[in-house]
Amino acid sequence: MSAAIGLEDVFVRFPVARDWRGRVTVQAHALNGVSIAVARGRTLGILGESGCGKSTLAQVLTGLLPPSSGRVTGDRDGRISIVLQDPNSSLDPRMPVWRIVTEPVFLHAPTRREALRAMAADLLECVGLRPDHVDRYPHEFSGGQRQRIAIARALSSKPDIIILDEPTSALDVSVQAQILNLLLALQAELGLAFVLISHNVAVIRHFCDEVAVMYLGQIVEQGSVDTVFADPAHPYTRTLLDAVPRIGTGRAHHALDETELPSNRTLPTGCFFQNRCPMAAAGCERPQILSGGAGGHLVRCHRA
């Protein structure tokens, strides 16, 4: 299987402050050497807490943000699409649904109004909405319905890859599953590649084939969802999985004392996780590399 899209050793740095001559004095290191690949019909989950570089990763994948170094592989022209977190903000309140849904089409090729409306009706049907609602405005729909509209819009450009940036975290729990199942059905039908960005372990577990766990702009553990979640090797992954609340247990035994994410202005030397790591020991002061175990299970920890 060939990769539909991939990143090769991508770094992204933002200038934060400049001196009086315009030279950059402080930088934010958003991504620090990320390599991923997603094949057609497969789903890669990006798991991490806020501030770990998930959104930057989405922007690099969609081409909104050029990497400071590294490469984006795969042909992205018109074949990549996005579904954003908050369907209240991602649909223009002043546009009727048929224009929202067909925007990726008419931006590039002026198309007759009737053709666009027909296309919009088909797309609405695809995502389980009534095709005769094409003339309504976003405020007339519920949150879950709006997210369906956003999905219809993402489909209209006939993409190969859809970036799902926290597609369910703004929705009611009862609606989340519906949206995820709709996405799975569409993937099976159209052979789409998904990159799902989420902080929600349960969503990733339910939805993804592979998972990459991110910490401070690096992937710390990567592999198939089954392996990683059944046998997490990196201490950070274990902490994340332990943080998922479960009925009947008290405070998770791996919960961290140090809860602050280190600043991404000056990166730690050595392992990025060492100041929070319950397993920190000698050797952690050296930079860690992402190295492989069996079945493509990669871990960035010398003690794993």
- Pairwise CA distance, residues 217 & 231, whole Å: 23
Cα→Cα distances 84→116, 142, 222, Å:
23, 16, 24
Q: How many C-beta atoms surround the C-beta of residue 89 within 10 A? A: 11
The CA-to-CA distance between both ends of the chain, in Å, stands at 29
**Is residue 157 close enough to count as binding another protein by CB under 8 A?**
yes
Binding residue (CB under 8 A) for another protein from 104, 128, 131, 143: 104
Tokens of 1: 């299987």
Name the nearest CA neighbour of 32 among 50, 8, 12, 51. Answer: 12
**Is residue 94 close enough to count as binding another protein by CB under 8 A?**
yes
Binding residue (CB under 8 A) for another protein from 32, 43, 56, 81: 81
**Is residue 130 close enough to count as binding another protein by CB under 8 A?**
no
- Pairwise CA distance, residues 9 & 2, whole Å: 18
One-letter-per-residue 3-state SS of 18-49:
ECCCCCEEEEEEEEEEEEEEEECCCEEEEECC
- Pairwise CA distance, residues 116 & 99, whole Å: 8
Q: Which is nearer to another protein, 108 or 113 (CB)?
A: 108
Question: Segment contacting another protein (CB under 8 A): 149-157, 192-200, 237-245, 252-260?
Answer: 149-157
Q: Which is nearer to another protein, 84 or 203 (CB)?
A: 84
Residue 106 C-beta: closest distance to another protein, Å: 9
**Is residue 168 close enough to count as binding another protein by CB under 8 A?**
no
Helices (H), the chain: 54-62, 87-90, 97-106, 113-126, 143-156, 173-190, 201-207, 225-230, 235-243
**Is residue 212 close enough to count as binding another protein by CB under 8 A?**
no
Question: Segment contacting another protein (CB under 8 A): 15-23, 78-86, 188-196, 281-289?
Answer: 78-86
Binding residue (CB under 8 A) for another protein from 51, 70, 78, 131: 78
Q: Which is nearer to another protein, 151 or 277 (CB)?
A: 151
Contact 4, 74 (CB under 8 A): yes
Tokens of 163: 């970036």
Question: Segment contacting another protein (CB under 8 A): 23-31, 37-45, 74-82, 284-292?
Answer: 74-82
**Is residue 122 close enough to count as binding another protein by CB under 8 A?**
no
- Pairwise CA distance, residues 48 & 154, whole Å: 24
**Is residue 103 close enough to count as binding another protein by CB under 8 A?**
yes
Residue 164 C-beta: closest distance to another protein, Å: 12
Residue 76 C-beta: closest distance to another protein, Å: 10
Binding residue (CB under 8 A) for another protein from 10, 34, 150, 171: 150
Question: Binding residues for another protein, per CB under 8 A?
Answer: 62-64, 78, 80-82, 84-86, 89-95, 100, 103-104, 107-108, 137, 150, 153, 157, 163
